[in-house]
Amino acid sequence: MYLLSSFDEADSTRTALMRAGLELLAEKGYKGTTTREIAARAGVSEVTLFRQFGSKKALLQAAVQKLRPPVELILPRPSHGQMSASSLEDSLLHLAQGYAQMLEANQGLLVRLLPELARHPELRGETGPLGLQKAMSAVFEYFAELQKQGLLRADEAPSQVAVALLGPLFARGVLLGALALRPAFDLQAHVRGFLKGRQGD
């Protein structure tokens, strides 16, 4: 799973426990997940789980903070003076395709996990998962760089620009996917529509 692939803990035991915890949280919910099940899926004893984290809540809090889509794998690298209007479209299409694929690969996890985080806000913390914050910052910085280079107009906040391009993909991939609805969607047409009125001079 992409969202669980960026755990970089040096301690493989902690990593295995956090992965198992998130998987079970998505499958069974917070109340239905037990420390015994987490330990068994991670291949360790329940005693080891308590030594590492102290409680189920602490383990899941740590795991949620580690959630981070590997956006570096799908973010193009804008190069000053080397990107034309057509190559900008190609770069944004590449980003949109990668994002859509990432959502599809994680659709089941997201559909089940997001409601649990809404029901148990103590798991995500007051400011949300740190890993997701870092991923979002990387995406916002990408659009800020495009604006800095004059490839996109700078009268919108980079975060708003990012949501305009990627928000509809999230809605289609996760929200509609949860209902098994798959309306036709042309990514290239979406990118071209996004660029209308947003390209720099």
* Predicted confidence (pLDDT) per residue in 7-19, tens digit: 555 578 999 999 9
pLDDT at 155: 94
pLDDT of residue 137: 93
**pLDDT confidence of residue 45:** 97
pLDDT for the residue numbered 1: 44
Burial 24-41 (b: 16+ CB within 10 A, else e): bbbeeebeebebebbbeb
* Rounded-to-integer distance, Cα 107 and Cα 120, Å: 20
The Cα 115–Cα 28 span in angstroms is 12
Question: Which pLDDT tens digit goes with each residue over 109-152?
Answer: 888 888 898 999 999 888 888 888 888 999 999 999 999 989 99
Place 87 in a pLDDT band, splitting at 50, 70 and 90. confident
Which residue in the block uniquely carries the two structure tokens 């919108």?
A: 156
Which tokens belong to 185?
């969607």
Domains of the chain, with CATH numbers? 4-66 (1.10.10.60), 71-197 (1.10.357.10)
- Provide DSSP, 79-142: -TTT--HHHHHHHHHHHHHHHHHHHHHHHHHHHHHHHHHHH-HHHH-TT--HHHHHHHHHHHHH
Instruction: Write out pLDDT tens, residues 1-53.
Output: 456 555 555 578 999 999 999 999 989 999 999 999 999 999 999 999 999 99
